[in-house]
Chains A and B, each alone.
Chain A
């Protein structure tokens, strides 16, 4: 079905001098789409040419519209010799293909050359006229919206979540074709850029088709990756979550439905209590206490009569969900935060890795091998989730690491139980569902409750009754890959926790190499988890969110980096301390041990202070000594497993606490403990996390600084040990963080959010770490408030509510809690924290991992790990209510799905750009650092220019997927490939909603006239 693409070349500026004699340029432009090319006139002797061309019209199939980019080439006319290319602009016209997004692309684009970088700018206007109804195509999938954002986009409401979509396309890499030997680097780079652009277009179209088949209209959490497999080819693959999204009419407070706390709706619909009708979780407790006797099916409250009803209801729910999900091949969701009520329980992290040997892709049209590989991994993930009693996987992601012919495929996610409501047609509205399907557990702790059968646990875990509702069992520690549900009850602030690990391996080839790697994998995973666990304890926290474990392979080493955001969930038991023990009493001098013990205790105490972790229990206990008496102690033996059976006994008796024991049995252990303590806390005024929301901070102010940092370390010492390497790697990461803190010190008080570390081993002795994150300022004065509770937190009613809450809560708890000490509810983040003094004994769980790590490392070459924690995530946007001051002329970028103080009124389309930059004059460009610095700056500039041309003023969910850097200093050469993606949006400050329409309009129509981002 055809469409008409129209392009107009308006003008150029700041062009480079192409004619040395006259210091001027005779520029003209070629506009190419598919196989059709148009040319403008030559604008002689000008560095700021005005072409003002006619409209160039391309009549094309919409399939091509989706696949092909519009290619604009600026050239210098030369009468006697070949015309010299100045540079190119590729414009992805996909955003013009769905009606809700941009209507015109118009603005200044940087003219980019893969050898010289940005060389001037060109002003272009592009429009598309589609002839037919958009939704009736076979080959094309125009009209399907794509979002990188891993939550339901702000101005939409998910009426139905269909589930997992995936696709991959393969091709030969032009860089490795025979022709590359005779063509120029520029031609080769451009061929590659163009091919990848085509492939991503095709991929997106194919995914779109799948979505249409499923009956959806959008892909959320779209994650596209490139595998540069070298000789064996180029793979572009993508995963996402198909949804049916409804646009919320702008103007009417859009996020009430999707983003408010789920309690609010349940509350309203079930009770209609005469007392209160405002929606907020705060109110709930109020409502709840008023209407206890009538609470039967709602189960909203923390306990009450809901507990007993919950059982059968839950089973029912589960069955429904299960059937809904079993129809799907993979019940996976790439989302990391969810509409309220979507997620019921969380089982824990599931992950699978597989080591493969690459071979040439023989037939690009049938990418069966690669498909089969991923299929295998996904099956494994699915079965892991089953083992955890879960029917779905959320926060799902896939990645690869390639070194020569070896490739590690990884997938991970969080096993979960979902609310079937979202899976069924017809029962879509969140706000007014029949209340019987409301989850029977309170949202601020419900997701912590175990989904699996207590008697038939998939792994040994220490269970206690939920410290919130006292009804359901919770584990002692929780690991997840998703974001912290906004209504989760937390104490204090969160923080970034990283485990870093290097393992040397012998150089090898082929099968031997692959086997060696797959043998190492389980041990790496085990050690990373141990480190994470220890560091979590050291910070006195009990849950990890946004866990991401990357294992990167190099010729002679493997690098492992696990990042997550630690947090103290008040529903979970307080973590015990860490106990140091010698193997035998006389083994090491007890002084030494006690000095280490003291350091650890001090660190824990300092961290508690730092992250303001003051759960109610501690206040009760008074002293709050981090290390309780080691009455019931289980030991962690390094690197070999010993499961302790007595753990299954649950004892809720008061005052019994357990410590995590580290045994010092050799010097390695001492090293390990030292490395534990190396992690410096962020300086005063800084917090850090790798998730969307910073636990404990929500009152953002408008300061936003997104940044990318790359550091490459050369290991000169050939005889490095694992220990030495670990130290180097850890220092590298720590120093990077220190650098960030220092550079961003002017933003204090500030939080580094979405810290995303990527490691690579580009060459034998090089370690590369790439970090993208955003620094956001917040208002220190109001850290205790949460915007979600805005209507409540204002005014004095707050205090009266709290008072009532405190009166009634203890009554609730007394009924079933064996504990005699009940603390009044403390209010942190506006959510009720139930109190308790019980300490579940903390078990050594690390040993259990090894058991889970029993991997079949045969020729299948696979390592897989199943770790188990749980979570539920219910998404609600946390917005700052501070007066924002965002200027429209600037394009802001953030890896988060929101910009503080603003509201997104329109998604303009996905930004997915791939650039190659090469130089043969490395020294002249300021060495490798100078080269990469300007390239990254150029990439940012091109992203901003495209967004501005679409009429947008921000990029959300921005990420740098790929940053491959290669150098050859001897030849004075370097090459770098960067792939970035994100969602172009128009956002307006929350305070001036009226001007929204006009802003949007001027942004679009005026885009061509204004100078874009300055």
Chain B
């Protein structure tokens, strides 16, 4: 005796958020049932394992059928197959496009290609995110990337409109797309201490300050690429380190401003030339795609690590950079 067929279809599609999460997390039906049993749903409504199994299967089927629609969330709102209340639709989409920070950290800056997809089982083993979930997340990145790549206008807004995501999630996807497009290297051991959110913050800054869209929203090109002209112009900064006078002038201006305001003043003063050289060199090289990729690793090696070895605090760093920039503006060359 066996159940050959077992379905339950509601006029309003019934979805359990807990089961949805299990499905998204890549649990098999049996594992999901186990998790639910441990979670204590059985006590509600005097359910048995069979009931739980049947329910889980139903829901998994529903999600599988919905998945096609979730690939283009705008369709979810005007499809006729499932009657889903709007707030549930939002939940479905938001959760479907949510990702694990540990996973995204592994693929950040990598090319979203088949090659990377093949490595997903390694990433899955490393991050203990199930392979199924890894695939979903990876495909999401790729899908968003593909759609947004061709679009004009602000990146975050495009993502939000096409995928109906929340602002926060849209920003995160913008960061992912931005990193994937520019292929920033993030996997080096020295960068491991940085979380996805750290990078996402950087991406946000880069997008709003260094891209074409940042300068002029109306231009043809968009937020995904760094502004070539701007990068070219950065080369002119070299004068700050090549011209001895300017270097000294800059240093004295910065030091005057910093004096008495930080505990590590001595160290700052001592390492000024080195740090400035580091920064300017990174900036000047950014016209090379290769160097763009190494942007973060260079930044860490040439700037952050020396500062850290001198035990700068974050506040010190901020103070230093603020004055470093402001002082440069005062210099005659940049007036």
Partner-B contacts on A (CB < 8 A): 13-14, 108, 110, 118, 121, 680, 683, 686, 705-717, 728, 735, 738-745, 766, 768, 890-893, 926, 928-930, 932-934, 936-938, 940-941, 944-945, 965, 1011-1014
Contacts and interface: CB of A to CB of B under 8 A. Distances in A.
Chain B contact residues: helix, strand, loop or mixed: mixed
Contact of B4 (A680, A705, A766, A891): A766
B77 interface: yes
B36 to A, nearest CB: 11
Contacts of B14: 705, 707, 743-744
A712 B5 contact: yes
Nearest to A958: B11
Contacts of B46: 680, 683, 738, 741
A715 B1 contact: yes
Given A745-B45, A937-B65, A944 B83 contact: yes
Given A735-B51, A892-B11, A1014 B83 contact: yes
A705 B50 contact: no
Nearest to B54: A739
Contacts of A728: 1
Top-6 shortest CB links A-B: A712-B5, A1011-B78, A936-B9, A707-B10, A712-B4, A706-B11
A714 B47 contact: no
Nearest to A716: B1
B333 interface: no
Nearest to A942: B80
Nearest to A707: B10
Contact of B78 (A686, A716, A1014): A1014
Nearest to B5: A712
A1014 B1 contact: no
29 contacts: A683-B44, A705-B11, A705-B14, A714-B2, A715-B1, A738-B46, A738-B47, A739-B55, A741-B46, A742-B44, A742-B55, A743-B8, A743-B14, A743-B55, A768-B5, A890-B83, A928-B5, A929-B5, A933-B7, A933-B9, A933-B65, A936-B9, A938-B81, A941-B80, A941-B81, A1011-B78, A1012-B80, A1014-B79, A1014-B86
Contacts of A744: 14
A937 B9 contact: yes
A742 B58 CA distance: 12
A965 B48 CA distance: 28
Contacts of A705: 10-12, 14
Given A712-B3, A743-B14, A937-B82, A926 B61 contact: yes
Interface in B78-104: 78-86
Contact of B2 (A716, A741, A892): A716
Nearest to B69: A14
A937 B12 CA distance: 10
Given A707-B10, A891-B83, A936-B7, A713 B61 contact: no
Given A707-B11, A929-B5, A936-B7, 8 more contacts: A709-B9, A712-B4, A713-B4, A742-B51, A933-B9, A933-B61, A933-B62, A1011-B78
Contacts of B86: 1014
Contacts of B7: 709-711, 929, 932-933, 936
Given A891-B83, A928-B4, A1012-B80, A742 B9 contact: no
Contacts of B319: none
A945 B44 CA distance: 36
Contacts of B126: none
B150 interface: no
A937 B10 CA distance: 8
B70 interface: no
Contact of B81 (A932, A937, A1011): A937
A941 B84 CA distance: 12
A745 B80 contact: no
A933 B55 CA distance: 13
A121 B75 CA distance: 12
B37 interface: no
Contacts of B58: 743, 933
A711 B62 CA distance: 17
A110 B83 CA distance: 14
B64 interface: yes
Nearest to A932: B7
A965 B10 CA distance: 19
Contact of B80 (A683, A708, A768, A944): A944
B175 interface: no
A732 B214 CA distance: 64
Contacts of B332: none
Nearest to A768: B5
Contacts of A941: 80-83
B83 to A, nearest CB: 6
Given A743-B8, A933-B9, A118 B81 contact: yes
A84 B8 CA distance: 33
